[in-house]
Amino acid sequence: MDERTKQATLLMTRFAERTGLSSERPPRRYLWTDAFAVCNFLSLARATGDSSHAELALRLVERVHGTLGRHRPDDARRGWISGLPEREGKAHPTRGGLRIGKPLPERGPREALDDRLEWDRDGQYFHYLTKWMHALDRVARSTGRAIFSAWARELAEAAHRAFTYEPHPGGRKRMYWKMSIDLTRPLVPSMGHHDPLDGFVTSVQLDATARALGSAAGPGLAEATAAFASMIEPAQLATSDPLGLGGLLVDVYRLEQLLRGGASEDLAGLGDALLTGALLGLRHYAEGPDLRLPASRRLAFRELGLAIGLAGIGGLEQVRGLEQLARFAPMRTEIESFWRVPAHREVDSWREHEDINDVMLATSLVPNGFLLVS
């Protein structure tokens, strides 16, 4: 086993123990982190030939659905957040979406918005849901079991229905940033910068997997795909945020894979727009001071999101501007090397986000489980 795989295995083993997945410790589920973790376990299973990693991936899916698909223990409501009866809810655990897993209860209907406090309150984030759709899709591809594909598409349908809206009759659709646990009211009404893009690429991917598996179970996503596409502003995708940049690069790679698999050629134009935005943001970020700061002043998971996106560059084949993009590939090694130093993982800024930092470092070390879509 090479050193990268060894370290990723150690990181994921500790994560599984610490969060109660492979131990008797109190369970700690958080949707974003768990989505990456599922992909990592699949990646390790493939890299090592050890089926126990695949078993952990399946166990984590079950635990997430059984925890974040249900109301919180401190909520007066009980059962599945979809409102389905127990047996039906277990058969369709994503039909009502999935909670974020934040430590505090969601804001009540009559409570005023406190921007600072809202970050620690529960609810549903669209961009977390798309990460879980992707994780389920990867499990479907890895196992050949269509049920995971159906669950992913049921989640996509629920998210499309709840998060998109028309500001006025006949108006261009918009999206909410954050919804209540039961998806009945917006908690943060502004639209996420890349949420329509996440929804579009993920919907195309989920339908491609359903076709590949020959699965008739679960809804088709043509309506959702069209709605998300209508909200994308190709000229407004650029960002200098490292996590957002990583997401753009991941989408460039996902789109190319979908095109190779026979998806509509219309995706090629979007891929060009993503690349343009990513290059603009990479140039800006590379000129900034972030990667020269001490560990105590850096947020590892945001940088590691960029490293994960940069990991996909080596798999690109027919992207225009690939030579320009390749110039930034060494930044991945720079970010990884910094956070692989044990002393850098002892600072408070790492410890405060230990689960997500460990998991995303592991993703960067063994990225194929997350990056591949077929």
Could you read off the pLDDT of 198-237 as tens digits, one per residue?
999 999 999 999 999 998 788 999 999 999 999 999 999 9
| CA–CA distance, 275 with 281 (Å, rounded to integer) | 10
Per cent of the chain over pLDDT 90 is 89
Q: Which two tokens stand for residue 270?
A: 């979007």
Q: Which two tokens stand for residue 234?
A: 């190709």
Domain presence at residue 328: yes
Domain presence at residue 307: yes
pLDDT given at position 318: 66
Domain presence at residue 316: yes
Asked whether 34 and 42 are in contact (CB, 8 A), the reply is no
- Block residue for tokens 């972030």: 290
Q: Which two tokens stand for residue 339?
A: 């956070």
Contacts of 10 (CB under 8 A, 6+ apart): none
31-48 and 126-143 helices, crossing angle to 10°: 20
Could you read off the pLDDT of 141-185 as tens digits, one per residue?
999 999 999 999 999 999 999 999 999 888 899 999 999 999 999
- Residue 266, pLDDT > 80, answer no
| CA–CA distance, 159 with 201 (Å, rounded to integer) | 14
| CA–CA distance, 318 with 260 (Å, rounded to integer) | 10
Strand order in the sheet with 178-179: 124-125, 178-179, 186-188
Domain presence at residue 27: no
**Which of 144, 61, 218, 37 lies closest to 374 in space, CA to CA?**
144
- Residue 252, pLDDT > 80, answer yes
Could you read off the pLDDT of 324-374 as tens digits, one per residue?
899 999 999 999 999 999 999 999 999 999 999 999 999 999 999 999 998
Residues in the chain: 374
The one-letter code for the residue type at 132 is W
| CA–CA distance, 300 with 170 (Å, rounded to integer) | 43
pLDDT given at position 374: 82
**Which of 249, 302, 253, 304 lies closest to 278 in space, CA to CA?**
249
Domain presence at residue 289: yes
What SS3 state is found at 16? helix
Asked whether 54 and 142 are in contact (CB, 8 A), the reply is yes
Domain presence at residue 241: yes
**Parent domain of 347:** 233-374
In this prediction, residues 2-20 reach a mean pLDDT of 98
Q: Which whole-number Å values give the CA distances from 74 to 97, 100, 195, 224, 350, in the listed order?
A: 19, 15, 30, 33, 28
In this prediction, residues 284-300 reach a mean pLDDT of 96
Could you read off the pLDDT of 126-150 as tens digits, one per residue?
999 999 999 999 999 999 999 999 9
Domain presence at residue 349: yes
Q: How many domains does the chain have?
A: 1
Q: Which whole-number Å values give the CA distances from 32 to 47, 231, 280, 301, in the listed order?
A: 23, 24, 27, 11
Asked whether 105 and 160 are in contact (CB, 8 A), the reply is no
| CA–CA distance, 172 with 166 (Å, rounded to integer) | 6
pLDDT given at position 272: 86
Q: Phi and psi of 179, rounded to 5°? A: -115, 165
Domain presence at residue 271: yes
